[in-house]
Structure 1
Amino acid sequence: MLSEQATPVVRATLPAVGGALDEITERFYAGMFAARPELLRDLFNRGNQATGDQRKALAGSIAAFAGALLDDPDTRPDVMLSRIAHKHASLGVTSEQYKVVHEHLFAAIVDVLGEAVTPEVAQAWDEVYWLMANALIALEARLYQERGVAEGQVWEPMEITGRHEETPDTVSFTLRRPDGRPAAAFRPGQYVGVQVTLPDGARQIRQYSLSAAPGRPDRRITVKRVDGDPAGEVSSWLHANGRPGDQVMVSAPFGDLVLPEGDGPLLLASAGIGSTPMLAMLDHLVVTGSTRPVTVVHADRSPAGHAHREELRRLVDALPHGSLHLWYEEPGAADARSGRADVTALDLPEGVTAYLCGPLPFMRAVRGDLLARGVAAADIHYEVFGPDLWLGTAA
């Protein structure tokens, strides 16, 4: 909760700070990486820095958190904070790094806003920052404790035991500890960080959903090659170099989009590579003999580009109350509809809990349709691959 002194100052200055956040975060990252180049090399996603997506996500999170403090001072935006904390934990972020961020972020605020940053304004926004930072530090400390690791010490080597070409641009890898010991348990829907050493010596990290059920001898991740400019550094490296017998550094599992306990009905809606956490959920439901109603929606460009297509059908068919609904942008598939996914006409049971994963336009459309059908906002959950550019817009 903001102090009585800080609340009116933040309320008065939020429009100015919010309007300048894009420039502030741009200067923040430039200054921090100039002073600490190892952070860009070995922690932050260089591709997201090049596109500006990380800058937009940071600006969105700060504005959303400050707005929440003003609009509902007795509560915290825990959904947003949890999502960020899980991502940070999968990177091995430490509490000391929040001090580094604070130093360079506030230098950027002063640089951009100049004389408008009076001592009262600086103190009020310092309070906002540390309320958010300390909340994240506490959440991340609990995540590390639950995993039984010291702060930031989430990494271990894992051996690639198998490689399977799922589509022309998607490969799945199975992973196992080199000593044969079982890997740490995880919940269906969670992801791991994968760290590889690139030709220039940078150790870049990306998160990949675990795409098969817990309890199997090997973990599985599914990696879609990211084309474009800039191309995906880690996905391209894994596609070109990842072979059975090679080792990569893998984090402990994290992520808060997880299969709920109980027997209530589920809607699992995905598009593209967003199907991967849903595959782990479905696999777990099949392995455990679940009888809960499960409606599965998936959208893709074409059957040939749909990774794990036959596996998805097999898993849904194995559920006694499972139904599969497919949409492909390219027409002609006998078992699917053409165009974009449309959940408005589906027969959804009362009390359904929805899980969404895929591109933001897909998730926004599906969420909007579900809300229009009367599904409660609290029962609609989502996962974003990469920086969360939806922060503050979906509960």
Structure 2
Amino acid sequence: MLSNKTIEIVKSTAPILAERGVEITSYFYKSLFEAYPELLNIFNHANQKQGRQQTALANTVYAAATYIDQLEVLLPAVKQIAHKHRSLNVKKEHYPIVGEYLLKAIKEVLGDAATPDIIEAWGEAYQVIAQVFIDVEEEMYNKAKLEAWEEFKSFKVVKKEKESSVITSFYLEATDGHPAPIYQAGQYITVRLSIPGEEYLLNRQYSLSDSAGKNTLRISVKREAGENIDQNGKVSNYLHDSVNVGDEVEITAPAGDFVLHDEANSPLYLISGGVGITPMLSMLKTVSDNQPDRLVTFIQAAKDGDIQAFGSEVNETIKSMTNAKKYVIFEQPAVSDREENNFDFEGYLDIQKLEQLVIEKDATFYVCGPVAFMGSVIGNLQKLGVQTEHINYEFFGPSIELKQYQEA
């Protein structure tokens, strides 16, 4: 239990953290990895280079300072982060190390402003916050152990299938012969690889793109190009170029809270951009298996028909349902797309198109895709009268604020 004095001091530092949080967390990660380079076997290097991890941690620290006297408000965010930690094999023994270097970063960046009272208060507060994460993650580890497996497990690629010019699916089967675990539509797994020339192990999280109950787990991976090769593509492109049928990869048990949790027969909208279709397809196929009469609207945005993935699979799934329909939006349709008439709208998924497609404002919405896409779609849904609590979305990587991406 934190004292009133500690709570008062921590809450009073919130404005400083809002202003200099990224500076603090950037210093934190730099000094942490210098002292414990082995932790680079856990963290996503691309998110570090892009600054997304630093921003996400700064947002979390700021929120913790703001709600230090009512941490239960943060529990949904804690659970989302805890899923990622469990999937990356972050353990309770890592938390004292993180706390030590976070306090050092606060002292270094704030200088004389970080008085002994402030550092002492934050030390006490960190222990409480860390214990919340540890307790939540312990439950998740126990659940994974009971329903699937602990830590990483070896899986063999039994099928590799090209879905579009940039997306390839990998079908994974446990090397110990055990069946694939049951998971919730929308969850992901962490793939860990040792890539020649890389000093540390590399981890990436990929959504499961099929419904559960199969003998295999399927992930569908986008090939990166341009600057994204260095930022995101080391693992993804290695999977495309060097991992083939018969090869083995290590994965963690399915995780994540971006799941199809609405069991009622209410209307459902599944909206995706680019490779964001992967969890949406898992949800569509799960509804097809269990609620084939449910009213579902599947909206897929892609650059063109060459980039679009799973067109035939979506069509087949939609046809198996009685009240489902799909709409395809191509940003820049090719001549062949026009000849084949394989799309419904041209351009971006803007508010005008959403206004035509979103008939049921009280439906449940799931949105996944690039950050700018999600920011625009979610902002426009809200403008059309959809309540925020009806909108679910998932980031590929650390969560950041969407406001800067939402249309004015």
- Rounded to whole Å, the distance in 1 between the matches of 2:322 and 2:64 is 43
Scaled by the length of structure 2, what TM-score is found?
A: 0.90
Equivalent residue number for residue 34 of structure 2: 34
2:77 is aligned with 1:80: yes
- Please report how far the alpha carbon of residue 125 of structure 1 lies from its aligned counterpart in structure 2 after TM superposition: 2.3
- Rounded to whole Å, the distance in 1 between the matches of 2:87 and 2:291 is 30
Equivalent residue number for residue 359 of structure 2: 348
Q: What one-letter code is carried by the residue in structure 1 that aligns with 2:315?
A: R
**Change beyond 3 A, Cα 1:56–1:305:** same
**Change beyond 3 A, Cα 1:14–1:207:** same
Greater shift, 196-205 or 103-112, is seen at: 196-205
Contact kept in structure 1, 2:144 and 2:150, CA below 8 Å: no
Q: What one-letter code is carried by the residue in structure 2 that aligns with 1:337?
A: F
From 108, 111, 122, the equivalent of 1:125 is 122
SS at match of 2:299: strand
2:100 is aligned with 1:103: yes
- Please report how far the alpha carbon of residue 224 of structure 1 lies from its aligned counterpart in structure 2 after TM superposition: 0.6
SS at match of 2:266: coil
**Change beyond 3 A, Cα 1:165–1:101:** same
Equivalent residue number for residue 248 of structure 1: 249
**Change beyond 3 A, Cα 1:74–1:245:** closer
2:347 is aligned with 1:339: yes
Equivalent residue number for residue 61 of structure 1: 60
From 203, 209, 228, the equivalent of 2:226 is 228
**Which 4+ runs in 1 deviate beyond 3 A?**
391-394
- Please report how far the alpha carbon of residue 86 of structure 1 lies from its aligned counterpart in structure 2 after TM superposition: 0.7
Q: What one-letter code is carried by the residue in structure 1 that aligns with 2:221?
A: V
Give runs of aligned pairs for residues 154-193 of structure 1, distance below 5 A: 154-193=151-190
Contact kept in structure 2, 1:182 and 1:217, CA below 8 Å: yes
Q: What one-letter code is carried by the residue in structure 1 that aligns with 2:137?
A: E
- Rounded to whole Å, the distance in 1 between the matches of 2:83 and 2:392 is 15
From 86, 89, 99, the equivalent of 1:89 is 86
Q: What one-letter code is carried by the residue in structure 1 that aligns with 2:348?
A: R
- Rounded to whole Å, the distance in 2 between the matches of 1:169 and 1:347 is 29
- Rounded to whole Å, the distance in 1 between the matches of 2:285 and 2:90 is 31
- Rounded to whole Å, the distance in 2 between the matches of 1:43 and 1:68 is 28
SS at match of 2:306: helix
2:41 is aligned with 1:20: no
RMSD: 2.2
- Rounded to whole Å, the distance in 2 between the matches of 1:393 and 1:94 is 33
**Change beyond 3 A, Cα 1:345–1:228:** same
Equivalent residue number for residue 47 of structure 2: 48
- Stretches of structure 2 that go unaligned for 5 or more consecutive residues are none
- Please report how far the alpha carbon of residue 350 of structure 1 lies from its aligned counterpart in structure 2 after TM superposition: 5.2
- Rounded to whole Å, the distance in 2 between the matches of 1:36 and 1:391 is 32
- Please report how far the alpha carbon of residue 290 of structure 1 lies from its aligned counterpart in structure 2 after TM superposition: 2.5
- Please report how far the alpha carbon of residue 6 of structure 1 lies from its aligned counterpart in structure 2 after TM superposition: 2.5
**Change beyond 3 A, Cα 1:83–1:391:** farther
Q: What one-letter code is carried by the residue in structure 1 that aligns with 2:356?
A: A
Q: What one-letter code is carried by the residue in structure 2 that aligns with 1:181?
A: H
Contact kept in structure 1, 2:265 and 2:291, CA below 8 Å: no
Contact kept in structure 2, 1:189 and 1:257, CA below 8 Å: yes
- Please report how far the alpha carbon of residue 117 of structure 1 lies from its aligned counterpart in structure 2 after TM superposition: 1.3
Q: What one-letter code is carried by the residue in structure 2 that aligns with 1:176?
A: E
Q: What one-letter code is carried by the residue in structure 2 that aligns with 1:193?
A: T
Contact kept in structure 2, 1:355 and 1:380, CA below 8 Å: yes
**Change beyond 3 A, Cα 1:116–1:201:** closer
Equivalent residue number for residue 192 of structure 2: 195
